[in-house]
Every structure is written in C-alpha cells, then in structure tokens.
Structure 1
Amino acid sequence: MGFIVTILAGGEGKRMRSTTPKVLHLFNYKPILTRVLDAAISLTPDKIIVVTGKYHNQIVKVLNKYMDTCGITFVEQAVALGTGNAIQCCLDHYTDDDDVLILNGDMPLVNESVIHSLVECQRSLKPCGTLVTATLENPEGYGRIVKSGELFEIVEEASCSPQEKDIKEVNAGIYLFHADILRKCVPVLSNENSKGEYYFTDVIRHAFDLNYKVNTFTIPENLNYTIRGVNTPEELLDLETLFHTVCFTEPSVTP
C-alpha cells in the first residue's frame, strides 16, 4: 500500500491580478506552494504529485530544487475544468491500494499537525475517506457540510439555499481517500452546476451512493486560520498580517 500526496496547483488565480501564478506569490518570503509542499514532505509520502495548468513551466522551475529530495511528479491539467477534473488527470498515477491525501496549493498556513492527525484518524477508523472540516463564525466563501444522519454532502456556496448558507461547519479543502474509491467516483462526476466545472467535493455523494463510509475530521477552533486560502492580493496581505500575529503570540508556529 502506497501513500501519495496530491497538491492542486492548476488554478489560474485571475483575482490576483498578476502575471505571477497565485501559488507562487510570496508568503513571508517563500512561495505559497513551497509551504504546502513542505507540509507534504513532513509526512514522508511515497510520492508527491503536483497538478499544474496554465503556469506549468513557472511552477516546475520554482519546484526544481525539490526534485532530488522528494521526487515530485508533475501532472498537467490541460484545461481548468475544476478540482474533480484535476484529480481525474491523476488517476493513472494511483494504484487501487494507495491512500491519497489531497491538498490545495494556495493554503500557506496548512498545519502539519492537522494533516498528521487526519492520517492517523483515517488509519485507525478505516473509512474509505476522511475530509477535514472547520466550524466558522463567518463561513462565507466556503462549501457547507450539509448533514442528514450519518450521511452528508458538501454544497458549494454558489449552490447553497438560504438555510444552507447559515451552516457554520465548512469544508477545509483537505481530503484523504483510498485510491480505489477515487477511481470509481471521479470518472462519473458531472459539471452540471453554475460554474460548469467538475467539483471534487461531489465524490462524497457518489461514495455514499455506493455504500462507502466517509468521515469528517473537525479541526480545533484555534486552528481555523490554517485553512484559509489566498485568492486576492488583499487576502494575501490580510493572511500575512494574521500569520505574524500568530507567530508573536504562539512561538511554536514556524515562520
């Protein structure tokens, strides 16, 4: 059984209003993507896959220094058709008995202890998949966790009803799945939604339809800031300011 980390870095990042790929913008003097990669390396996976897109060459150039130490495999997503399509592009790199951790490449504060705990949770409880959630006072912009008994689904904000928008438990964008489940569920994803994209989050519903168990792993509220991604220059500045505040108040946080 192998352990593979897949980092999604193929988004165009148009809201950054920059010719620099979103994931290569500097966060405390380091490219955002390299911070996510460092967290992945801490897990000592058998393989790390980085999904690229329009900015493939620039990303490969920046990550070149990592090639000798962790053997990155680059997978190019030819057209930006969503996170589900990004994983579709990776399926040939998985074998059925692999465990696959999926991270977003635009989360500079992704927390190593959270993903280590996620891996431990998955290995002890043995569901087909586990995703990280957080409980936020202001959940705007995040997919909501809509529960019905032991079942749940992730509803992207653009598709939420007014009642669903009031839900405070949100998808953190970190997932751990058995590869055989991905092979069964990803190819049947639909792009019939407001954005015309293939959402990876729909894998949850398909897994339940096949009677597989998927768990949630909710992070402590004091770590909610670690799931924040970067979409605009303003968000980048705001998150850097928060980061320096946290570093000052919590010396254990690494700059």
Structure 2
Amino acid sequence: MTQKNAIVLAAGKGTRMRSEKNKVMHTLIDRPILAYPIDALKEAGADRIVVVAGYQAQSLMDAFKDVEFAIQKEQLGTGHAVMQCTVLENEPGYTLVMNGDVPCLQASTLQALYEETQKNNHSLVLLSAVLEDGAHYGRVVRNDAGQVLEIVESKDCTQDQKQIREINAGVYCFNNRDLFESLSKLTTNNAQHEYYLTDLVKILSSQGKSVQTIQCNPDEMAGINTVTELYGVSQWMIQKINQKWMDQGVQIMDPKRTVIGKDVQIGHDVEIYPGTHLMGKTIIQDWCEIYPNTWIEDATVEDHCKLHSCIVKNCTVPQNTFKENEFIKEGL
C-alpha cells in the first residue's frame, strides 16, 4: 500500500490578524483554524502528518498531540519550511504540502491529489483555479502545448504573466523522493529573497518530470490572513453546514443566525430556532426542539427534548426534558 505523507505549513505569526496568538490557533466555529486541514488530511488517508511550527510552536504542539512537528526557527519561505521536515526525507510514497490557514479545503480534493499523483506516477500534481483576477496569487505558466513550466509568484510576474487567469492554489502533491532531491536546488533569487516552494515546479519540469494540475473550486482555497477573512470563511462554512442539515430534513428557522459545528450529529424531525449554537461532539436526537439563544457543546440531547435559552455542556439531557434559562453541565 502506497504511503501518504503530508506537510502542513503553520510557522508564521500572522501579523495581519493584529493578535499575539498564532494565526492558525484562532477559533473557527468551535476549533482552531489548523484543525480543519489536519482533519481533512486524515480523512483523505494521510499516514503521517508533519506540521511545521515556529511562532508559539508549543501552543500548536499542546493542541495537536496526534501529529508530528518540525520547527522552522527562521521564516525564510515555504521551501525553507519544507526543508525542516527531515523526518520524511527517506519515506516512500507521496507527500502533500499545504498551508495551515486554508480550512475550506475538502478531504475529497486532497484525496484526488494523492490519487492522481499515484495513478499516473507524476512527480508533482498541484492544485490550481481559474479566476477573473489573479490578484496576489502565483500564476501557472504553460507552454504552447499546455504543459506546466513554472509557477511565477505575483510579485515576480511580468505584465503579460499577470494576465494569466490560472492561479496556484498553494497545495501540492509530490513524489516524496523527487521532493527532497529537489529542495537543495532552491535559491533565494526572487523579490522576497526567500526559498519558494513553487520554484520546484520549474526545477522538476526542466528535468523532464511530469508536473500536472487539478483545478478546484475557488471557494476551497480561501486563506485566512485577517479577522475580516476569518469572518468571511466562517460564514461560508456555516452556510455549507446548515445547508447540509436542511437537505437532510432538519428545520433550521434562520440559517444566518444558527451555528453548527462540523462534528455535530442531528436526528430526524428536529427544529432549531435562531441564536442556537451546536458545538463540538454534540448529538441532537429525534423530535427535539431547540429554541432561541441555546448553546449546546459536547452534549447529547435525547429524544423529545425542548430547550430554551439554555447553556448545555458535557452532559446528557434525558428524553422528554423541558428546560428554560438554565445552565446544564453535569446532569439535571
């Protein structure tokens, strides 16, 4: 069975968040931003996940004890970050590299990258998207035959290259051997004076190795650099989760004012009123009515319960319970 490795880049502070907290440790719905790419990688079948940490590395290690870590002491670019993952250097199989601040990426997209790389024995398959305006994204440069030649970062683009609409989404799946053999060829000869991971596209292509792309939904590649962007991503995620439950018959009275975490389970004939937050590993069983301004976290609400303006945490609410304006923590 082919081994699937993964590297998640999470060493930066994220200064534009205007916070002392590491960017990927900011809360998105009910967990840190970093939890989403890690969960997606696990679902996609990753055997080993290495997170590259730097700023406040210990906070990441304390929060995510089931993955491995590499430390990037100096911020010298994405290529330099991957260089720190020497624990994977002699591993077989394929290695997916992604940023830790892209929580919307779906496990199915990451799985498709693994499968395409393995199935056709590519050296590299990268995720791309087509945008009307490439903005600050790197451009995918191809030859007349459509072969991928290189990725040119936005700050290094010529005026002609800035007109290219296919952009780099920042997710890569490498043949692991090709990845680590090529890292030593990176230089800092660019506008940022950093080791660009994207330069590996040109290095591998110039060696005649197969470099391909898979296009993704642009919504999936949304990164988070500011609190405003965090809000935008949270709204997208809330809408997506709520739509899933409404498609399954859950009656959400006001989806714009209802927040449901991605691990929540909901039974049939459930009514959820505005101002409700269902978080963590919560389970709402059948025929429940969750009235306005109720917060339920890591709790099980059994059949035929009615809760109004309650806080419920880490407990089981027995069936046929009606509670209003109560804090329920370790039982009733």
With the length of structure 1 as denominator, give the TM-score of the two structures: 0.90
Question: What is the one-letter code of the residue matched to 2:209?
Answer: Y
Partner in structure 2 of residue 235 of structure 1:
229
Partner in structure 2 of residue 124 of structure 1:
119
Identify, as 1 or 2, the structure richer in strand: 2
> Could you say what secondary structure the match of 2:181 adopts?
helix
Contact 1:131 1:217 (8 Å CA) reproduced: yes
Q: Report the alpha carbon displacement of residue 45 of structure 1 after superposing the two structures with TM.
A: 2.4
Partner in structure 2 of residue 13 of structure 1:
14
Q: Do structure 1's residue 50 and structure 2's residue 51 form an aligned pair?
A: yes
Q: Report the alpha carbon displacement of residue 122 of structure 1 after superposing the two structures with TM.
A: 1.5
Q: Matched residues in 1 for 2:87 and 2:241: separation?
A: 40
Structure 1 residues 170, 250: closer, same or farther in 2, change over 3 A?
A: farther
Q: Matched residues in 2 for 1:107 and 1:151: separation?
A: 24
Question: What is the one-letter code of the residue matched to 2:163?
Answer: D
Partner in structure 1 of residue 100 of structure 2:
105
Q: Do structure 1's residue 162 and structure 2's residue 159 form an aligned pair?
A: yes
Q: Do structure 1's residue 140 and structure 2's residue 141 form an aligned pair?
A: no
Partner in structure 1 of residue 292 of structure 2:
none
Q: Report the alpha carbon displacement of residue 153 of structure 1 after superposing the two structures with TM.
A: 1.0
Partner in structure 2 of residue 83 of structure 1:
78
> Could you say what secondary structure the match of 2:129 adopts?
strand
Q: Deviations over 1:24-47 (max 9, x none)?
A: 111112111011110011123221
Question: What is the one-letter code of the residue matched to 1:52?
Answer: A
Q: Deviations over 1:174-214 (max 9, x none)?
A: 11101111122111101121111111000011111222111
Question: What is the one-letter code of the residue matched to 2:215?
Answer: T
With the length of structure 2 as denominator, give the TM-score of the two structures: 0.70
Matches within 5 A, 1:239-254: 239-249=233-243, 251=245
Contact 2:139 2:151 (8 Å CA) reproduced: yes
Q: Matched residues in 1 for 2:183 and 2:23: separation?
A: 26
Q: Deviations over 1:112-161 (max 9, x none)?
A: 11111122212222111100111112321211111113232111111112
Q: Deviations over 1:80-135 (max 9, x none)?
A: 11110011111342326331011210001111111111222122221111001111
Contact 2:14 2:22 (8 Å CA) reproduced: yes
Q: Do structure 1's residue 181 and structure 2's residue 150 form an aligned pair?
A: no
Question: What is the one-letter code of the residue matched to 2:187?
Answer: S
Q: Report the alpha carbon displacement of residue 248 of structure 1 after superposing the two structures with TM.
A: 4.1
Contact 1:96 1:178 (8 Å CA) reproduced: no
Question: What is the one-letter code of the residue matched to 1:156?
Answer: E
Q: 157-166 or 13-22: which moved more?
A: 157-166
Q: Matched residues in 1 for 2:96 and 2:172: separation?
A: 6
Q: Matched residues in 1 for 2:27 and 2:199: separation?
A: 32
Q: Matched residues in 1 for 2:59 and 2:242: separation?
A: 33
> Could you say what secondary structure the match of 1:12 adopts?
coil
Q: Matched residues in 1 for 2:4 and 2:239: separation?
A: 34
Question: What is the one-letter code of the residue matched to 1:117?
Answer: A
Partner in structure 2 of residue 74 of structure 1:
69
Higher relative contact order (CA 8 A, sep 6+): 1
Which runs of 5 or more residues in structure 1 are unaligned? none
Partner in structure 2 of residue 37 of structure 1:
38
- Number of aligned residue pairs: give it: 246
Percent identity over the alignment is: 30
Question: What is the one-letter code of the residue matched to 2:230?
Answer: L
Identify, as 1 or 2, the structure richer in helix: 1
> Could you say what secondary structure the match of 1:78 adopts?
coil
